[in-house]
Amino acid sequence: MSANLIPIKAFLGKYYPELLYSASQDKYKNTGLDEFFEQRFYIQNNKVQMIVDPGLTGLIVIVSGNELHISQELFDHPNVVVANSLENNQTTNPRSLYNPETFSTLAYLVCQNHTSFHIVGEIDEPIYVRYKSDYETFYNSVVVFNISNEVEVEIVEEIESFSALNAVTNYILYPSAKLKLTTFYQNNISALSFCYRNIIAQDKSSFSHVLLGKGSSNIIDENKIQAQSGSSSELLGVVNSSGKVFHSILYVEPGAADYRVAVTYKDILSGNSRVSFFPVIHGNANPDSATIEVSNITLEEIPADKVEDEIKGFVSDIIERATLERMVGVKRFYDNKTKFLHIP
């Protein structure tokens, strides 16, 4: 595969100058994003193939660049409608959704089509979405989840990059819908990942997100919340830097005055780690509509015999809330949680 590696700068062509300029924005300027353009990767073609895989058990999607594997159980679920934008006679050019102000939207330049999941009724177990990249690859993907009125769903993201990964996920919450999302990072220590969630929280919808992150060569985890009237969003995060890099970005775009966003992130720092949280609230928002609390501890500042107890006490309030309400299909979730808690 090494013979087929393409410099990112050359691959982007005419889009390179504006993406390079994008990397100089305040939200990206300390992320080292500009260094990415000098690297070389194998990059797939732009047509996404959706494969129904009877070998997968449970409600699971595996997104590996332009190959998307869906379990038979999820594809056939009566309350899930799976569609491909090309099969639906797509009239909008995906490239029109590219916005250089959001780096990860370059996925719209790479992906000719995208896959959507419309949740039209209750589901009695969580949906697992695993994003992965292989060695020497730069994989891009675009996925859409539409959650119908008054429907409640639990989704678990697993992010496992061995090289470079760029994932755009659109979560569209219809009025009074409820999404409980959990994200586990499982990157190889030398890997890169760029993950962008576009959350459209319509009237009286509820979005809650627990992120359990582990640092690697570079991670940019970016959320954009379009908050409508009566919507509420809560973001909880624990980032174990592992002496590496993890950057979080939150952009809130209020569509009404009566919304609520609450953020609590806790970072565990060690060695030469670089961990950041960059919030942006657009417009003249009510100062009572958003609360953001970010704190950290540094392991080298704690006596060795007290490190374990200090970590447990520091993150316990968030870890205790990293649970599922459903009782079926939960082993994978709690295995991921146990693995994350093995903090050296």
String of DSSP letters for 98-124: --TTSGGGGHHHH-S--EEEEE-S--S
Instruction: Give residue 122's pLDDT.
Output: 95
Instruction: Tell me the per-residue pLDDT of 119-160, one tens digit each, with 9 for 90 and over.
Output: 999 999 999 999 999 999 999 999 999 999 999 999 999 999
Which residues 6+ apart lie within 8 Å of 267 measured at CB? 238, 239, 241, 246, 275, 277, 294, 295, 296, 297
Rounded CA-CA distance 199/208 in Å is 11
Q: What is the dihedral of CA 294, 295, 298, 299, to 10 degrees?
A: -100
User: Could you tell me which of 182, 194, 137 has the C-alpha nearest to residue 158?
Assistant: 182
Q: Supply the pLDDT for residue 284.
A: 63
Asked if 83 and 90 touch (Cβ cutoff 8 Å), the reply is no
Rounded-to-integer distance, Cα 181 and Cα 127, Å: 10
Q: According to the model, what pLDDT value does residue 137 have?
A: 95
48 has a pLDDT exceeding 90: no
Q: Helix or strand or coil: residue 274? A: strand
The structure tokens listed for 28 are 């990206």
Alpha-carbon distances of 204 from 19, 28, 87, rounded to whole Å: 35, 32, 32
Q: Name the one residue in this structure whose structure tokens are 């985890």.
A: 221
What is the distance, to the nearest Å, from the Cα of residue 327 to the centroid of all Cα atoms in its chain? 24
Prediction pTM value: 0.96
Residues in contact with 42: Cβ distance below 8 Å, sequence separation at least 6, in sequence order? 1, 4, 5, 6, 136, 137, 138
Rounded distance between C-alpha atoms, residue 221 and residue 293, angstroms: 17
Tokens matching residue 303: 């006596």
Q: How confident is the model at residue 92, as a pLDDT?
A: 62
Amino acid at 164: A
- More confident of the two residues 140 and 91: 140
- Whole-angstrom Cα distance, residue 161 to residue 220? 13
Provide the residue type at 97 as one letter: L
Q: Quick check: 107 pLDDT over 60?
A: yes
Q: How many CB atoms lie within 10 A of CB 300?
A: 9
Please report, in angstroms and rounded to a whole number, the separation of the first and last CA atoms in the chain: 34
Whole-number pLDDT of residue 88: 56
Tokens matching residue 62: 């595996």
As beta bridge partners, residue 167 has 141, 195
Structure confidence at residue 210 (pLDDT): 98
